[in-house]
């Protein structure tokens, strides 16, 4: 059930796993306290990188689109988590409107929508799919990669409520990351929308997320007594970049130098001999677009036209002006010889599954979220019936528990981040009302 | 994953499944409302019988002892449910005292304790096992059927708290059904005990449970528009029976006649040609002890000495004076040719697994909870990727959903029953204080 995985360097990570396993009661208690202070996201997926000496989140997605890649045998976990989330969301819920991305030709994405729908139905909800596709006239039937038929219906606004024809849902579950902006249709409606509209990529920034993660990682590291760097990638940001016009190159160079310098120091401290690298990403980017690996300041000076074009626009044709420069974390995991990174899925406060993103043509220092990636479901190994198995860090169940802890840490940061986005939005509304 | 199962008569049950599947949103909403009105048991297992024309609970266990028989791949479901239950029980929990049955020679039962311990540890708790074995002097190490070592430690009372040496738990999870009475050690302690002490078999009665179930089944049947009999076995009770001294034979005969008469009418109504039968059971009985099958009044008159002996005492040598006479529900399920009945496990409001109790030497009208039974884990089939699979009642996923609904109905009855037991106990305390 567990894909064959190899890690070359296992020393320090095993130390982290040992600590995490030993402190499990304190960690779970800490998470319980955190979730009573912060509203847990409905769902969330986290891309992790495990370099053997470091295990860190590199991206946190509030509109996860890979439920179809989870091990189908674990869908009951999702169903339970959805039941629990729905009780929180609207106790009296019977109908939910699921709002997907607009692309109708990505059949794997449509299969993700079909699986999400099935999870919600498993939790006892009536689910209709409300599409934001512009000018959609009536229902559109599409076939997913799994051969299922989905009916996409145009979202209808009726006063302060939304629905689809003949259906007035109790809540809206958004699976559309709103890269193109917050649609008028969904603004100011009285039904709860999860995640909140401000969590979309028109207002969200990766750098904001990692600022929140800094604080969470700091607190967690203090709790279990580790160097926060072991779970936290160094990062910096540039606010005024224009790749096409070569604007902001100095800012980029200075921040790449800063990040590489910090990492160099840490590598020296831990005796790591690999060369440090950094990842430059669009601060509001998603779908693996607008990402490049840099190993020295020279890599961001004199960019060739092809790279500048690649970096200048992202999903929905949005131009890139803000970037995050993040410590690159090597992935020393591989599945069947190909480079791999774990992606962990959560719903309510629960880890409900995950998979390895595997790429045959990419290196251990590259972004794997790119065309050509494939997915190997990550099973939970739990049939651990011998007493000494509790004692071996590196065993799949223990390794996955540690993955779940770091992924939940990133989800917690996302919760704090969304809280702040919501607060900022209401402050702006108040200011606008007073103007 | 799903054991081969056959049902001979599938007509009417498919109708029930069709209804249950169609009304899933209403059913789940109803359960959510019920669980906000009644405290959900920490855990619970329900023995079901599926006769093809009827699907009904025949026993509801508040101290389930077969966690070792669940499919180990589904333990994450238990872990999530335990996390959710613990949040309800004591938010700040780090340590829990697990109190098992006293038998140390039933290695399968000890394996159940080991699995329960692992589930709670998976939820991030420190777990110690507090034994009620009389005169236990210090820790006793035992080896389970799975080859695991468990440390049983004597429960220690310190003022109004209990624990084991060097361990002050936040709550007590009882897996001991208290057939021998409520131990002094656990009375009046300030830590929460789940299930409550009054839910033990010294105060609990099957007939009381099925009275509560009557009301729940009635309400549920009204909700989905079915004859409540389809999910509810007819029953009656006798309060003053002494099998050894042949006391109470008339009461028994009259009530057997009543139950068989009711069932005969229903069978006629539904065109069922099998002969009706009833099960006579000790009203406070457990472990499959004190149970017999009767097909006519004559079967309870002139009992031979062997049967009278078998019926006269149950677990912990308790004498039987009260019996329940319950409609027998044929089981038309079989696993590999042997008679089988499903047992469904729940934790918090969630179905977390189940298994088939299989008995090669028993008939379709007999109790299967008897020496020689074996257990086939019941898998949840959920990888249902074709659209038409949602439309076929009788498919394993649909069948199991229906099992889960009826089992949860029984758990709900147990919740109401325990509520009433707790109320009665406090009323008695008040009366005693005023006396």
Q: A124–B25: do the CB atoms touch at under 8 Å?
A: yes
User: B146 to chain A: which residues are within 8 Å by CB?
Assistant: 385
- Quote the CA–CA distance of B213 and B228 in Å, as a whole number: 11
Q: What is the pTM of this model?
A: 0.86
Q: A1–B385: do the CB atoms touch at under 8 Å?
A: no
Residue of A nearest to B84 (CA): A84
Q: Which of B365, B198, B179 is nearest to B287 (CA)?
A: B179
Residue of B nearest to A91 (CA): B32
A-to-B residue pairs, Cβ atoms closer than 8 angstroms? 110
User: B32 to chain A: which residues are within 8 Å by CB?
Assistant: 86-87, 91-92
**pLDDT value at residue A222:** 97
**Rg (Cα) of chain B, in Å, rounded?**
22
Is residue A365 pLDDT above 90, yes or no? no
Indicate which of A22, A33, A76 best probes the interface with B, i.e. most B CBs within 10 Å of its own CB.
Answer: A76
Is residue B391 pLDDT above 70, yes or no? no
Q: B73–A385: do the CB atoms touch at under 8 Å?
A: no
DSSP state of B40: P
Determine contact: A147 vs chain B, CB below 8 A: yes
Residue B315, both tokens: 């677990």
- Give the minimum alpha-carbon distance from B71 to chain A in angstroms, rounded to a whole number: 9
Residue-wise pLDDT for A97-149, tens only, equals 999 999 888 999 999 999 999 999 988 899 999 999 998 999 999 999 999 99
CA distances from B150 to B59, B104, B168 (A): 29, 10, 19
Residue-wise pLDDT for B134-186, tens only, equals 989 999 999 999 999 999 999 999 999 999 999 999 999 999 999 889 999 99
- Quote the CA–CA distance of B47 and A144 in Å, as a whole number: 40
pLDDT band at residue A384 using 50, 70 and 90 as cut-offs: very low
Residue-wise pLDDT for B104-132, tens only, equals 889 999 999 999 999 999 888 999 999 99
Contact B24, B166 (CB under 8 A): no
Contact B58, B279 (CB under 8 A): yes
Of A79, A91, A94, the CB nearest to B25: A94
Q: What percent of chain B has pLDDT over 70?
A: 91
Residue-wise pLDDT for A60-80, tens only, equals 999 999 999 988 777 888 998
Residue-wise pLDDT for A234-257, tens only, equals 999 998 888 888 888 889 999 999
DSSP state of A200: S
Contact A130, A162 (CB under 8 A): yes
Containing A40, the helix (H) or strand (E) segment is none
Contact A413, A216 (CB under 8 A): yes
Determine contact: B119 vs chain A, CB below 8 A: no
- Quote the CA–CA distance of A281 and A96 in Å, as a whole number: 34
User: B384 to chain A: which residues are within 8 Å by CB?
Assistant: 118
Residue-wise pLDDT for A201-230, tens only, equals 989 999 999 999 999 999 999 999 999 999
To which residue do tokens 């829990």 refer? B96
CA distances from A62 to A282, A346, B361 (A): 17, 10, 55
Which chain A residues in 377-396 lie under 8 Å from chain B, judged by CB atoms?
380, 382-387
- Quote the CA–CA distance of A149 and B61 in Å, as a whole number: 42
Cis preceding linkage at B195, omega within 30:
yes
Q: A387–B126: do the CB atoms touch at under 8 Å?
A: no
- Quote the CA–CA distance of A310 and A433 in Å, as a whole number: 40
- Give the minimum alpha-carbon distance from B244 to chain A in angstroms, rounded to a whole number: 45
Is residue B220 pLDDT above 60, yes or no? yes
Four-CA torsion B359, B345, B398, B233, nearest 10 degrees: 70
Residue A64, both tokens: 């996860």
DSSP state of A269: H
Of A29, A36, A383, the CB nearest to B72: A383
- Quote the CA–CA distance of B40 and A253 in Å, as a whole number: 59
Q: A387–B350: do the CB atoms touch at under 8 Å?
A: no
Question: What is the arrangement of strands in the sheet containing B291-294, beginning at the earlier edge strand?
Answer: B235-238, B323-327, B278-282, B291-294
Q: Which of A255, A264, A280, A256 is nearest to A229 (CA)?
A: A264
Determine contact: A145 vs chain B, CB below 8 A: no
Contact B48, B60 (CB under 8 A): no
Which chain B residues in 402-431 lie under 8 Å from chain A, judged by CB atoms?
none
CA distances from A247 to A250, A300, A311, B132 (A): 8, 12, 13, 75
Is residue B390 pLDDT above 80, yes or no? no
pLDDT band at residue B397 using 50, 70 and 90 as cut-offs: low
Extended strands (E) in B328-423: 333-335, 338-347, 350-359, 374-377
Q: Is the ipTM of this complex over 0.90?
A: no
Determine contact: B75 vs chain A, CB below 8 A: yes
What angle (nearest 5°) sits at the alpha carbon of residue B44, between those of residues B38 and B46?
110
Contact A125, A79 (CB under 8 A): no
**pLDDT value at residue A210:** 97
Determine contact: A52 vs chain B, CB below 8 A: no
């Amino acid at each position: 059930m567990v894909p064959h995985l190899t890690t070359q360097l296992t020393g320090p990570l095993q130390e982290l796993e040992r600590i995490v396993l030993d402190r499990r009661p304190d960690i779970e208690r800490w998470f319980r306290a955190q979730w009573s202070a912060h509203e847990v996201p409905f769902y969330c997926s986290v891309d992790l990188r495990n370099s053997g000496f470091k295990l860190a989140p590199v991206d946190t997605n509030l509109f996860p689109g890979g439920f179809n890649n989870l091990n189908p045998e674990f869908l009951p976990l999702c169903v339970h988590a959805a039941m629990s989330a729905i009780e929180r969301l609207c106790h009296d819920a019977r109908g939910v409107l699921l709002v997907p991305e607009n692309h109708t030709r990505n059949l794997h994405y449509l299969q993700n929508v079909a699986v999400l729908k099935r999870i919600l139905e498993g939790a006892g909800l009536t689910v209709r799919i409300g599409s934001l596709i512009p000018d959609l006239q009536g229902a559109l039937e599409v076939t997913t990669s799994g051969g299922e038929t989905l009916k996409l219906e145009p979202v209808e606004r009726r006063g302060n409520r939304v629905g689809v024809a003949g259906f007035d849902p109790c809540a809206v579950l958004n699976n559309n990351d709103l890269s193109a902006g917050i649609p008028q249709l969904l603004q100011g409606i009285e039904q709860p929308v999860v995640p909140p509209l401000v969590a979309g990529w028109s207002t969200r920034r990766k750098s904001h997320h990692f600022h929140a993660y800094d604080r969470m990682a700091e607190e967690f590291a203090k709790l279990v007594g580790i160097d926060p760097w072991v779970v936290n990638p160094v990062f910096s940001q540039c606010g005024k970049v224009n790749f096409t016009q070569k604007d902001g190159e100095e800012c980029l160079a200075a921040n790449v130098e800063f990040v590489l310098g910090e990492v160099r120091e840490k590598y020296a401290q831990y005796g790591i001999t690999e060369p440090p690298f950094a990842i430059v990403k669009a601060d509001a980017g998603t779908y693996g677009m607008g990402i490049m690996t840099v190993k020295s300041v020279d890599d961001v000076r004199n960019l060739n036209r092809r790279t500048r074009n690649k970096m200048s626009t992202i999903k929905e044709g949005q131009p890139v002006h803000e970037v995050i420069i993040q410590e690159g974390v090597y992935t020393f995991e591989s599945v069947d010889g190909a480079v791999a990174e774990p992606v962990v899925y959560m719903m309510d406060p629960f880890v409900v599954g995950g998979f390895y993103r595997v790429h045959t043509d990419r290196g251990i220092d590259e972004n794997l979220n790119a065309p050509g990636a494939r997915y190997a479901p990550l099973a939970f190994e739990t049939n651990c019936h011998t007493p000494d198995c509790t004692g071996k860090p590196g065993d799949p169940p223990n390794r996955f528990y540690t993955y779940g802890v770091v992924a939940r840490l990133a989800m917690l940061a996302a919760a704090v981040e969304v809280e702040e986005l919501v607060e900022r939005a209401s402050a702006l509304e108040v200011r606008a009302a007073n103007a």
